[in-house]
Amino acid sequence: MPVDFSGTWNLTSNDNFEGYMLALGIDFATRKIAKMLKPQKVIKQDGDSFSIHTTSTFRDYLLQFKIGEEFEEDNKGLDNRKCKSLVTWDNDKLVCVQTGEKKNRGWTHWIEGDDLHLELHCENQVCKQIYKRA
């Protein structure tokens, strides 16, 4: 049985989000707001097609992709830098490489117990988030 990320997930921990936002060049005022947020992710997984909708009281971000198909990502409302993104499976982990202006940019999602884990990385910064089912 392949892992199923589908569901609604609420952020419960967020380690070094500040470092990750600094690496992305997010301005001071936006960082102050963003670090107070408790985003929710609504994930829909249908075969190799995914949608990950990250919502908050401040901004929303919708990402839709198919495994193994590179796409242009606009990061609208985040850092607004365009990049080429590719999501693949690494065993049961969902790995995204975001190729563009920023070195070493990407993220990894996996499920551990009943929790959704997300590691976001950019340059030398790693942010680790944990979400619980809503």
Applying CB under 6 A, which residues contact ligand VLP? 21, 24, 26, 30, 34, 37, 39, 41, 52, 54, 56, 58-61, 63, 78-79, 107, 118, 120
We find the least distance from the C-beta atom of residue 75 to ligand VLP, in angstroms, to be 8
We find the least distance from the C-beta atom of residue 92 to ligand VLP, in angstroms, to be 16
Is 116 within 8 Å of 108 (Cβ atoms)?
A: no
Which is closer to ligand VLP, CB of 58 or CB of 89? Answer: 58
HSE-up of residue 94 (Cα within 13 Å, Cβ side)? 25
We find the least distance from the C-beta atom of residue 24 to ligand VLP, in angstroms, to be 6
Which is closer to ligand VLP, CB of 109 or CB of 113? Answer: 109
Is 32 within 8 Å of 71 (Cβ atoms)?
A: no
We find the least distance from the C-beta atom of residue 27 to ligand VLP, in angstroms, to be 9
Give residue for tokens 């830098």.
81
For residues 93 and 104, what is the distance between their CA atoms, to the nearest angstrom? 18
Two tokens, residue 27:
């301005």
Which is closer to ligand VLP, CB of 52 or CB of 102? Answer: 52
Which is closer to ligand VLP, CB of 23 or CB of 47? Answer: 23
Of 37, 82, 81, the closest CA to residue 59 belongs to 37
